[in-house]
Amino acid sequence: MEEEAEYNEPRARAWPKIRARIMKWLSWSAVLMTATYFAFAIPFWTRSPAVTKHFASDFNKDIAATPAEARAWPLLSRATVASQEWDEKEFPKDPPESTAWNDPQIGACKAHLDSWRKAIDLVRVSATKPRFGHFLGSNDDVLWEKNTPSEERLRTNAQIDLGANPLLFMMPQPWMGSIRKFTRALALDMDVAAAEGRPEQVLDDLEAICLLANLVSDPPLIVTQLLGDAMRMLAAERFGRELAQYPGLFSVAQLDRAAAILTRASAHGQIDLEWEKRATQDLAQRVFSDDGYGDGLMTIEGWNLLTELAGKQKWGREMIILVGPLVAKAWGTRSQFDQFLNRVFQDSSTEANKAPWERTRSWLNKFESEVNSNDAPRSSFIVFASVPAIPKAFAARSSAQMELRAVVAAIAAERFRLEHSRFPRNDMEMSSAMGKAPPVDVFDGNAIRFRFSEDELTIYSVGADRVDNGGERAMDADAPRKWVHSEELLSLSKAQRDAMNGDWILWPPNEVTWADGSKHPLRVRVTK
C-alpha cells in the first residue's frame, strides 16, 4: 500500500499542471477557432459581392447600338408571331418536320408550309443579316401568349432595360425553341421542294439553315454553338437524303453550289470557350466579396444566389449567423476559385487543339479527382459543373464537321454519276471525283471509308468501336455515332459494345421519316 501511495503521489502532484496545460491549450484553441470563425463571419455578414464586370449589360448595349436592319432577331421575332398555329387535326402533336414523295400526308405538309409562308420568308431574309442580335437575359422583345394581339406582341429596344446585368451562368435562351422550329420548317420545305422537282428551292433552304446556324452563336456560349452544329447537321442530313432519294434532281452547277454551301458550313474551328468562362466568372463576382486586392470570401448574397440556382430553400436568419461563416470557409477564397478556373479552361483549350482521335479523359479525370478531394475548396464544384459538357461539345463539333464533309463527298460522287452514268468504283475514282483527299474519320484519324459496288456507293465511318465492319449498319443506327473515348471502350459492358457493332453510315440513308413521325424505307424516285 505504501508503495502504491508513493507511486500515485507524483502523479497527483503532476495532475494540476497537466490540467492547467490542457485548459490553456483548449483556451488557445477556442480563441483560434473563434478568431477563424469571425475572420470569415465578418466578411460574410457585412460585405457584398463585388460586381465589376457587366458582361450581359455590355453585350446588350452593343446589340442596341447595332441597327435593327443588321440584326436577324427583329425579323425572327415577327416570324415567331406569324407561326404560332398549325392544323392540329392533321398534326395533333406538333408541326410536321419531315416528309417524302410517297408520304400520304405530303399534301398536308405543303398546306402547312403555305400557312407559314410569311414566317418562312422572314426567316430566310433574317439568315442574311450580319448578326443574330437577341438581348441576353431578356424575353421582353416578344410576348409569347397566343391571346395577345399581334401588334402588341413585339417590343422595341427602348422598352428593354439595357442597364440590367442579368446573370450569365445557366442563363435560359428562350429563343432557341423558335430557331429549332424554323430550322425544321426549312428542312420540311426542302422535302416538299425536292418531291415537286424544285432543286433551287432546296438549295435556298439549305443555305438559309447554314447561314442561320452561323448567327445563333451570338454570344458563343456552348449551348448556342451546339445549336448551330445541330442545325448544320440537320441541313446536311436532309440534303443527303434528297440526293439519295431523287437521283438526277440536281444539275452539276446546282451540285457545285450545294458543295460550296456545305464546305463553308464545315469550316468552323473548335468550340469557343471564352464566353463559357465569362459565365463562370460572372457567377463568382456575385458570390464573393473583394478585399481590395482582387480577393474575397463568400457573402450572404452569394450563398442565397447559389441556393436559388440549386432550387433549394433559402436559410433562415439563425442558420445564416451560425453556419454561414463555416460554409464560407469551406468555399475558400476568390483567388482559389480563379486559379482553378484558369487551369480548367487552359487544359480545355489544350485538349481542343488535339485531333479528335487523340483526345482522352485524363485531363477531365484529373480535375474530377481534385474536386472530390478533402482539401479542395467547395467553390471548385461551381467551376467543374460545366466541365463535363466541354468534351461532349468538342466531339459534337468534330462529328458535325465529318458529317458535312461526307455529304460533300456524296455530292462529288453524284456529279461523277451524272457524267459517267455510274458511281465511282474504287478509291482512285472517288479521289478524282472529289478533287482532294477524303475527309478524316474523327474516330481513328484515317480517311472515311467507301464501299463500292456495281451501282451503289456507301460512305461510312468506323464509329465508336473503332472497328471497320465493311460498311455494315449497326442494329442501333445511333450507337456507332455516340462519342466514346478510346480508353473507355474496355470499361463498357458486352451489351454496350454489341450495340456499337457496326459502322456509322454517313451516306446514303436507308430510311425516311414521314410527317406522322413514323420511319419507312427510303424509296428512290428517279427525276431524270
pLDDT for res 26 = 63
pLDDT for res 451 = 96
- Provide the whole-model pTM: 0.88
- Is 300 in contact with 324 (CB distance < 8 Å)? yes
DSSP secondary-structure letter at 89? Answer: T
State the Cα–Cα distance between residues 406 and 434, nearest whole angstrom.
Answer: 11
DSSP-assigned beta bridge partners for residue 351 = none
pLDDT for res 485 = 84
Q: Which three cell numbers stand for residue 249?
A: 434532281
Cβ neighbours of residue 252 under 8 Å, at least 6 residues apart?
A: 415, 418, 419
Crossing angle for the helix pair 389-420 and 252-265, to the nearest 10 degrees:
170
DSSP secondary-structure letter at 65? Answer: H
- 191 closest CA partner among 81, 311, 110, 263: 110
- Is 262 in contact with 202 (CB distance < 8 Å)? no
CA separation, residue 456 to residues 175, 244, 247, 450, 511 (Å): 42, 10, 12, 10, 16
State the Cα–Cα distance between residues 369 and 248, nearest whole angstrom.
Answer: 56
| Angle at CA of residue 248, ends 247 and 249, nearest 5° | 95
pLDDT for res 275 = 95
Q: Which three cell numbers stand for residue 2?
A: 505504501
pLDDT for res 144 = 43
The list of the chain residues with pLDDT below 70 reads 1-15, 17-20, 22-44, 138-159, 313-322, 527-528
* Dihedral angle, C-alpha 35, 40, 42, 46, nearest 10 °: 180
| Angle at CA of residue 398, ends 395 and 403, nearest 5° | 120
- Residue 452 belongs to what H/E stretch? strand 449-452
Q: Give burial (CB, 10 Å; 0-12/13-18/19+) of 73.
A: buried
State CA 392 to chain mean position distance: 8
Cβ neighbours of residue 375 under 8 Å, at least 6 residues apart?
A: none
Q: pLDDT tens digits, residue range 246-277?
A: 999 999 999 999 999 999 999 988 899 999 99
Alpha helices per DSSP H over 246-316 = 252-265, 274-285, 300-309
State the Cα–Cα distance between residues 40 and 329, nearest whole angstrom.
Answer: 6
pLDDT for res 200 = 98
